[in-house]
Amino acid sequence: MSRGKSFLSGPVIVIVGFILITGRTLRQGTSLHLGKGSDEYRIEVTTVELSEHSMKKLGLREGDKVRIKSAHGSIKAICRRSNLPSEVAFMSCGYRANLLIGSDTEGTGMPSSKGIMVEITRETEEEDEV
Amino acid sequence: MKFEHVVCPLCGCLCDDLELIVERNEVISTKNACALSRSMFLNLNADLAKPLIEGKETGIEACVDKAIGIISKADYPLVYGLASTESNAQRKAVELAELLGGAIDSTSSICHGPTVLGVQMMGEVTCTLGTIMNQADLVVFWGSNPVDAHPRHLTRYSLTPRGLFTPRGRKGRRMIVVDVRETKSSKLADRFIQLKPGTDFEALSSLRALIKGEKIDIDPELKELAEEMKSCEFGALLFGQGLTMSNGKNMNVNAALALVRDLNQHTKFAILPMRGHYNVTGADMVFTWQTGYPFAIDFSLGYPRYGPGEFSVVDLLSRKEVDVALIIASDPVSSLPAQASSYLSEIDTIVIDPNRSMTSEIARVVIPTARAGISAEGTAYRMDGVPIRLKKVLKSPYPSDYEVLCKIVNGVIDGRSKDS
Ligand code: SF4
C-alpha cells in the first residue's frame, strides 16, 4: 500500500554509510562531574551505538572497536547495540565526536552536529587504547 | 547543616526545590535532585581548578595580573562561554568585551543559536513552564530527550504534575515524542513518531499544510498528529537540539514556530526551547539588554554588531581571527568541533572556571573561581525566561566569576590610564 510522501523511518537494507547523530546521555551527564579524565566519562564519549542489524552486517559484537570516518576526521570508538534505525549511528556529545564534526556553520554559528555522514568499519589495529 | 529550596545550577530547568545536607563545607546528601544534579553536588571537589600560569601553580592574584597583561595587549580578543555562570558575571563580560573592542559569544551559538535566529524572524507564541504545568493537556517533545538531558522536566513541569486546569496530572495529559531515534523519553510517550534524519523541516511544513486543511498524501501518523494538535485544549511544543543542530537548523525552528502560530487559529498552543546549560537563557537576556543582540557580537568598531556565522565562536576560531581567548565557565576544547577548538592552543587562552577542564589543560592562564549557584550567589534565567535567585551553600577560597571579571576590567582601565 502506498504511504504517499513519507518522512517516517523505515527499514533500510543496504548500508553504504551511516548518519551520525550526537546527543546527550544520562551517563555522559553524570560521569562529567567525575572529571573528563575519568574512565566513566571517557568510555561514554568514546562509545558509538548501532542497530543490531548494522552490528551483524559489520560482524561486530558489543565492546568491539570500530573506526569512524567523516569528511572532517577519523576516530576509534567502542560499539554498543541500541534500538536505532539501521542507517543511524549515535554518539554522546563530547571531544571524540567533535573530531568528526566540521566547523562550517552555514552562516548560523551552529556547526552541523547531527546528521553527519560517516563510514564505520571494524577496527583492526590493536596497538593504542581507544 | 540543612539548606532548603536550593536552586540546581545545572540544566535549564533550574529546579528550586532541592534540599542539601552540608557538613564540613561538603554536600553529603541531596533531596529532590535528579541523577545529574546529585552527581554534580556529590562530586563538587572531584576536579577543581588550580591557579596556573603556563601550567605552573601560583597565586590567584598573579594569575589575574597575568590575564590583564595578556588581554590588554590583544588586537582582537574573544570572550566566550558564560552559560554556566550567573548574570552579573555575564554583564561584566559584556563590559570587558566592549572595553577591549573584541568579540563576545556564549554557548548559545552552539545550542539554541538557530532558535534565536528563528524567533527573530518569526516571533514566538510562548509561555512559562508554570503555564504548561497548569494548563497543557498535550505536550509534544520534538528532537528532545528530557529523560536524559533535563531529567526532572517531565515530573516538575510538563507531564506528571497536577495543575490548576490539569487536576489529573499524567492521566489528563498526552505526551508525543517526535525524534529520529528511540529514546528513554519516547518510551514514556503515548505516541512516538520516528522521522528519517534530516526531515524535520518537511515534517513540520507538512503538519502546517494539514492544519490549514490541505489534502496531502502523507504518512497517516502525521495526519493523526495534526488532528491531535488541533483538537487539544492547550498544547505545548518543546523542542531540543534535534531541530537546531540538524540539517536546516534555524529553518527547522522557523517551521516549528510557524506551526505553533498556525495552531493558535484552532486552539491554544505554545512553543518553548529546551535550553541546556542552566543560565544560557540568561546569557541571551543579558547580552540583549546590554547590546541589543543575544550572541555573536563584535565591538571592534566601537559599537555592537551582530553576526552569527561571523562573530560566533566556531567561525572566529576556525578562521583564526582572534589572538586571545578568555573562556568563562565553559570547556570549548571538549564541546566545539576540533577544527575550531584546536586553534585555542595556538593563541593565548585564559580560562576562568571553578573546575579543571580540557580547555584549562591547554590554557596559558587558569583562574579558579567560586562556583556560581553553589559558592557564589547570583541570578540565572530558567529556560522559559523566568529569573531565579541562586543561593550560596558552600564556601570557596576563590573569588566569584563576577569578582574576577571586575578585577580584569579595572586592571585594563588602570593600565590604559597609566599608559596615557
Ligand atoms: S532537572 Fe536539571 S535543574 Fe532539575 S535537578 Fe536535574 S539537573 Fe538540576
Q: What is the pLDDT of residues B307-366, one digit of tens each?
A: 999 999 999 999 999 999 999 999 999 999 999 999 999 999 999 999 999 999 999 999
In a domain, A41, yes or no: yes
Instruction: Residue A113: give its domain's CATH number.
Output: 2.40.40.20
Task: Measure CB to CB from residue A30 to each of B36, B149, B181 and give the nearest one.
Answer: B36
Q: Which has more confidence, A38 or B380?
A: B380
Instruction: Identify whether A56 is part of a domain.
Output: yes
* Structural domain includes residue A102: yes
Domain membership of residue A83 as a residue range: 21-122
Mutate to test the interface with B, among A103, A116, A117 (most CBs of B within 10 A): A103
Residue A3 lies in a domain: no
In angstroms, what is the span from residue B106 Cα to ligand 1's centroid? 21
A72 touches chain B (CB under 8 A): yes
Q: Contact, B395 vs B24, CB < 8 A?
A: no
Three cell numbers written together for B15: 529546579
Looking at the complex, does the CB of residue A17 fall below 8 Å from at least one CB of chain B? no
CB of A47 within 8 Å of a chain B CB? The answer is no
d(CA B57, CA B334): 23
| Residue A14 pLDDT | 39
CA of B123 from ligand 1 middle (Å) equals: 28
Cβ neighbours of residue A1 closer than 8 Å, sequence gap 6 or more: none
Please write the tens of the pLDDT for every residue from A62-96: 999 999 999 999 999 999 999 999 999 999 988 99
Please check whether residue A75 lies inside any domain of the structure: yes
Cβ separation A110–B244 shorter than 8 A: yes
Secondary structure (3-state) at B104: strand
In a domain, A5, yes or no: no
C-alpha cell at B13: 530547568
Rounded CA separation B391/A120 (Å): 47
A98 has a chain B CB within 8 A of its CB: yes
Cβ separation B47–A85 shorter than 8 A: no
User: Best mutation site among A3, A5, A7, A113 for testing chain B: the one with the most B CBs within 10 Å?
Assistant: A7
In a domain, A74, yes or no: yes
> How many domains does chain A contain in total?
1
- SS in 3 state form for B13-56? CCCCCEEEEEECCEEEEEECCCHHHHHHHHCCCCCECCCEECCE
Q: Is B383 in the pocket of ligand 1 (CB under 6 A)?
A: no
Q: Does any ligand 1 atom lie closer than 6 A to the CB of residue B285? A: no
Best CA proximity match to B401, nearest among B379, B383, B384: B379
CA of B149 to the centre of ligand 1 (A): 9
Chain A residues with CB under 8 Å of B338 CB are 72-73, 95, 98-99, 101
Name the residue of B20, B148, B150 whose CB sits within 8 Å of the most ligand 1 atoms, as the mutation to test its pocket.
Answer: B150
Average pLDDT, chain B: 96
The answer to whether the predicted template modeling score (pTM) of the entire model surpasses 0.90 is yes
Instruction: Please indicate, yes or no, if residue A127 is contained in any of the structural domains.
Output: no
pLDDT digits (tens, 9 = 90+) for B357-403: 999 999 999 999 999 999 999 999 999 999 999 999 999 999 999 99
Q: How far apart are CA B153 and CA B147, in angstroms?
A: 8
